[in-house]
Structure 1
Amino acid sequence: MTSLPSSPSRHLARQRRIQQAKRRRAVTIAILLLLGVGVLSVRSLPRTSLRQIQKTVWVSHPEPLAMTGGDPYIRALMRTISAAESNISKPYNVLYGGQLVPQLNRHPNICVEIVAGPNQGHCTTAAGRYQFLTSTWQEKARQYHPKSSSWFGTWGDYSFDAESQDLVVYHWLKDSSAWSFDIPTALRDGRLDEVLRRLSGTWTSLGYGIESNSMTTRLPRIYDNLLKEELELSSSGQLP
């Protein structure tokens, strides 16, 4: 027959049970605290950062243009600009920060807070493949939009569809009076650096300005690869 533990033994056993319960409680609290910190960290991320993670897919090769035809040198330049400005799988729909908009019947005109760089704290309406500000889009659409003579142009509601974005930029880049510089000729002469320098006042991510990014130093190589691709498409007749 097993004898009952003495009073000191019962006391020690009780102390051990109390200590074990305290340890289990401490572990539980630590786990809950870690989970809480994780939830708060995710919630504290900028909303645009979450949307960017969820909805955008960065690409290693800039997407083809929506427009057809045109000078392959300018086409390659346009895709190079978008490599620095909007290098994702849906470049025509992207706002600054990565949020995507479903409708392109007009410029979205959504002002998104700038979270880094020299303009931090301000907001920007940059949108689309070429990150047009609302005011810039309206100005250039009046000059170069394929439907600029339509009645909606009077109100500045130019269609922001993918092909129109391309065509406005294409004709803008070809207009030597707009830049006081002949971009097509400079590209054919191999003066890409000079072209990017001239355009960097408009697209600061091209370099020489205040907002270079991780793509900036790669742009000459990107342009060379895209130019080869565009020239091959043009020579094969695949650009109607």
Structure 2
Amino acid sequence: MQQKTNLIANLGIKLSLVIGLFFVLFNLQGYFSPKRSQFLESYSPTINGTQPLAMKGGDPYIRALMRTITASEANVTQPYHVIYGNKYVADLTRHPELCVPIIAGPNVGNCTTAAGRYQMLDFTWAEKAKSYHPDPDGLLWWKSYSFEPEYQDAVVYGWLKDSQAWGVDIPQLLREGKVEEVLKLLSGTWTSLGYGIETNSMSKYLPQIYQNMLQEELS
């Protein structure tokens, strides 16, 4: 009788493990599925600029800046879906929150949750979405924030326009032609903008990319 009870218990444990594994794999398939959104699949990254924003409207100077940030942070065919290491996620109902090991640069050995067009860390997204997300789900303290392309844009747009957040009026600086001053200011947040700790092959082109993007946004 005792052996039969143990056998049933062992079978129950194994069945629970199988169900648990299936559940994990089922949930992860949304992250790594190749069936990503078809937003500008034909776009090819260049040193001349980046693809248009998903968000409509807004200040063209800030829009051009956002596209410039993309050039060194996520200049790929699917910037809204990219995570560190040029991997992609499909599910943008929320920030992916996947901590990927860093394999190069000053932070090698750590992991990063950077995701999306602006490579926002999970805790940065959570903080800024509370202030700038235009359409959160839920009530009071139980809110969630969609990470869909237009919302990634909206949160960063609101953040960049907020003079209290940066201590300066970024739109005004841009109108005065002080793009390099702005890039330097933002390099503590986006470290690839030419004045941070992670410059890359695109960093030196950013001032010209900004001018290219501004002409597009003003036209």
Bucket of the pairwise TM-score, normalised by the shorter protein: 0.7 to 0.9
Letter in 2 for 1:126: A
Q: 1:222 aligns with which of 201, 209, 219?
A: 209
Determine what percentage of the aligned residue pairs are the same residue: 60
1: CA distance, partners of 2:63 / 2:104: 30
**CA separation of 1:145/1:177 partners in 2, compared to 1, >3 Å: closer, same or farther?**
same
2:191 aligns with one of 193, 198, 204? 204
Pick one of 125, 149, 171 that aligns with 2:113. 125
Pick closer, same or farther for the CA change 1:220–1:188 going to 2, 3 Å: same
Q: 5+ residue gaps in structure 1?
A: 1-50, 233-240
Name which structure has the greater RCO, CA cutoff 8 Å, separation 6+.
2
- Alpha carbons of 1:140 and 1:198: their partners in 2 closer, same or farther (altered >3 Å)? same
Contact 1:93/1:100 (8 A) holds in 2: yes
Q: Residue 83 and residue 156 in structure 1: after superposition, are their counterparts in 2 closer, same or farther (change >3 A)? A: farther
The reply on whether 1:184 has 2:148 as its aligned counterpart is no
1:84-133 superposed Cα distances (whole Å, 9 cap, x missing partner)? 10001100000011111011000000000100001001000000000010
Secondary structure, aligned partner of 2:141: helix
TM-score norm. by structure 1 comes to 0.71
Match of 2:45 among 59, 65, 73: 59
Q: C-alpha deviations, 1:3-46, integer Å up to 9, x for none?
A: xxxxxxxxxxxxxxxxxxxxxxxxxxxxxxxxxxxxxxxxxxxx
1:75-86 pair list within 5 angstroms: 75-86=63-74
Per the TM alignment, residue 154 of structure 1 is displaced from its structure 2 partner at its CA by 3.0
> How far apart, CA to CA, are the structure 2 residues paired with 1:71 and 1:111?
33
> Are 1:107 and 2:108 an aligned pair?
no
The 3-state SS of whatever aligns with 1:70 is coil
Cα distance change of structure 1 residues 116 and 100 upon mapping to structure 2, 3 Å threshold: same
Within-5 A mapping of 1:170-181: 170-181=157-168
- Tell me: CA distance 1:98–1:152, structure 2 relative to 1, closer, same or farther (3 Å): farther
C-alpha displacement of 1:151: 1.2
Q: Which residue of 2 aligns with 1:32?
A: none
Unaligned runs of 5+ in 2: 1-31
Find the counterpart in structure 2 of residue 72 from structure 1. 60
- In structure 2, the partner of 1:143 is 131
Q: Post-superposition shift, 1:63?
A: 1.0
Local SS of the residue matching 2:192: helix
Amino acid of the residue matched to residue 87 of structure 1?
A: N
What SS does structure 2 have at the residue aligned with 1:204? coil
Residue-by-residue CA offset, 1:25-84 (whole Å, 9 max, x unaligned)? xxxxxxxxxxxxxxxxxxxxxxxxxx9xxx998511311000000000000000000111
Greater per-residue strand proportion: 2
* Number of matched pairs: 178
TM-score (norm 2): 0.78
* Counterpart contact for 1:109–1:125, Cα < 8 Å: yes
Q: Which amino acid aligns with 1:179?
A: W
Larger helix fraction of residues: 1
